[in-house]
Amino acid sequence: MSKKNNIIPHDHKIDKLSRSKVKGHKPKLIWFTGLSGSGKSTLAGKLEEEFFKRGVHTYMLDGDNIRLGLNKDLGFSLDDRTENIRRIAEVSKLFIDAGLVVLAAFVSPLRKDRDFVRSLFSEEEFVEVFVDCPLEVCEQRDTKGLYAKARRGEIKDFTGISSPFEAPIQSEFTIKTNKNDVTNSLKAILDHLKDEIKE
Amino acid sequence: MSKKNNIIPHDHKIDKLSRSKVKGHKPKLIWFTGLSGSGKSTLAGKLEEEFFKRGVHTYMLDGDNIRLGLNKDLGFSLDDRTENIRRIAEVSKLFIDAGLVVLAAFVSPLRKDRDFVRSLFSEEEFVEVFVDCPLEVCEQRDTKGLYAKARRGEIKDFTGISSPFEAPIQSEFTIKTNKNDVTNSLKAILDHLKDEIKE
């Protein structure tokens, strides 16, 4: 059977607009990209807390719930990373269709993969946040002990050490986490987003 | 890099329980299985409308939004069907974690694949609905013209014609759509679920 043909759409009445209206805010994907240890997941988690206080319906996607489930068949080669990000992008699209605000925190080191994510959404549905922190600082933090393992060769294909990171050139928002603490970084993102989430 | 190691969980404060509480109902996966043309998607769509009227936060997964996006790399061989259902199950798990009620309408012809879906959820989170309609009736309806194509050999691996369907033996609910119209079928499912959705 052809992979593309013979999928005949149903005409369902409950659509993105109706699901979005009952939530009282617009759906949006906030995509955090940056090196391991840059603070993506911490910032996304704190941002979710702030949204939650404001009654925004959120969901967070990160390595914890993706790499151990949907994408547990994928490794960290460049091809697998591309497929990893493709699937996350498609899942994000379903969540946006459901009317939610999605916080996605993934290294997503390749520009072409991030561009694919962006291509699935309208301009107002997508915000790329570059969590910008020098490799040296991330490696010094080494909150998970992964850089040490990568340096010892115990982890292959580790971004920044043995696998490339292509810094974003068109992010909607950049936060330098080596120059701002979590509170300040969070405040800056909230300021940037405050008009965009509420109807 | 090992596929399973080096995923170190974050301790995020907003969890399934908190997301569920603000929605005012429990999360649940309602999984419709049955032959093409049995009425899965129609019933799931109507049920979503009813839930929507009652303020339940829903999302619907079906071939329309899965086969053209996340799973567009998959065909209809038995292996690809297994991977198709595995990914849908994992995506459903994310939506349940987000606190939503998910209506999933997929042929899902293999018992082992449906058992895998079930294995990801607690008893109270999962309901399997067998949309039971004889092949002859589905083929007579042939709402999408797919059975005619399958009989002419224009579609390979078509469930019921050239690919197996293993009828469920442990569904929480069975609806015979050749003996009930949509209104009656819907009423029966709503009756069955009414105590389970609301807190």
**How confident is the prediction along chain B (199 residues), in pLDDT tens digits per residue?**
334 456 666 777 888 888 888 888 999 999 999 999 999 999 999 999 999 998 999 999 998 899 999 999 999 999 999 999 999 999 999 999 999 999 999 999 999 999 999 999 999 999 999 999 999 999 999 989 999 999 999 999 999 999 999 999 989 999 999 998 889 989 999 998 877 666 5
| pLDDT reading at A176 higher than 50 | yes
Catalytic-residue membership of A18: no
- Alpha-carbon Rg for chain B in angstroms: 18
How far, in Å, CA of A100 to CA of A28, rounded?
7
Chain centroid to Cα B95, Å, comes to 13
ipTM: 0.92
In a domain, B146, yes or no: no
Chain A nearest CA to B29, separation (Å): 15
Percentage of chain A exceeding pLDDT 70: 93
Q: Which residues of B touch A59 (CB under 8 A)?
A: 19, 94, 97-98
Distance of alpha carbon A40 from alpha carbon A58, whole angstroms = 16
Nearest to A64 among B10, B75, B149 (CB): B10
**B74 in helix, strand or coil?**
coil
A118-163: per-residue pLDDT in tens? 999 999 999 999 999 999 999 999 989 999 999 999 999 999 999 9
**Helix pair angle (B111-119, B78-97), 10° resolution:** 20
CA A112, CA A29: separation in Å to the nearest integer?
18
Q: Which CATH number characterizes residue A125's domain?
A: 3.40.50.300
DSSP state of A127: E
Instruction: For residue B171, tell me if it sits in a domain.
Output: yes
What residues of B are in contact with residue A158 (Cβ under 8 Å)?
Answer: 1
Distance CA B199, CA B190 (A): 15
- From A14, A68, A146, residue closest to B52, measured CB to CB: A14
Number of domains, chain A: 1
A64 part of a folded domain: yes
Best to test chain A binding among B50, B54, B94 (most A CBs inside 10 Å): B94
* B31: number of Cβ within 10 Å: 29
* Residue A2: pLDDT over 50: no
What pLDDT, on the 0 to 100 scale, is given for residue B4? 47
Residues of chain A positioned with their CB less than 8 A from the CB of B14: 45, 48-49, 52, 58, 60
Give mean pLDDT, residues A76-87.
Answer: 96
Q: How confident is the model at residue A197 (pLDDT cuts 50, 70, 90)?
A: low
pLDDT of the residue at B1? 35
Q: Which candidate in B108, B163, B171, B185 is catalytic?
A: B108
Using an 8 Å CB-CB cutoff, list chain A residues near B9.
Answer: 64
Q: In whole angstroms, what is the distance from residue B83 CA to residue B30 CA?
A: 20
pLDDT attached to residue A68: 94
Kindly state whether residue B96 falls inside one of the protein's structural domains.
Answer: yes
Determine whether the interchain pair B62/A10 forms a contact, defined as Cβ–Cβ distance below 8 Å: yes
The per-residue pLDDT for A17 is 87
Q: Which amino acid is at A29?
A: L
Task: Give the span between the Cα atoms of B33 and B159, in whole angstroms.
Answer: 12
Does residue A153 lie in a domain region? no
Q: Do A99 and A56 touch, CB atoms closer than 8 A?
A: no
Task: Count how many residues are written for chain A.
Answer: 199
Is any Cβ of chain A less than 8 angstroms from the Cβ of B17?
no
**Residues A36-68: tens digit of each pLDDT:** 999 999 999 999 999 999 899 999 999 989 999
A-contacting residues in B 47-106 (Cβ below 8 Å): 48-49, 52, 55, 57-65, 67-70, 72-76, 87, 90-91, 93-95, 97-98, 100
Q: Identify the domain containing residue A45 by its residue range.
A: 23-134+165-197
Binning pLDDT at 50, 70 and 90, where does residue A7 land? low
Q: B152 — contact with chain A (CB < 8 Å)?
A: no
Q: What is the pLDDT of residue A5?
A: 52
| A-chain residues near B65 (CB < 8 A) | 94, 97
Residues of A in contact with B64 (CB under 8 A): 7, 9-10
What are the distances in angstroms from CA B71 to CA A78, A91, B40, B82, B126?
20, 10, 19, 11, 23
What lies within 8 Å, CB to CB, of B35 at 6+ separation is B107, B133, B135, B138, B159, B160, B165
Q: What are the residue ranges of helices labelled H in A26-142?
A: 40-53, 63-65, 78-97, 111-119, 135-141
A9 touches chain B (CB under 8 A): yes
Q: For residue B6, what pLDDT is reported? A: 66
Strands (E), B49-180: 58-62, 101-105, 126-132, 173-176
Residue B113 lies inside a defined structural domain of this protein: yes
State chain A's mean pLDDT as an integer.
91
- Which residue among A1, A63, A90 sits closest to B157, beta carbon to beta carbon? A1
Asked whether A94 and B70 are in contact (CB, 8 A), the reply is yes
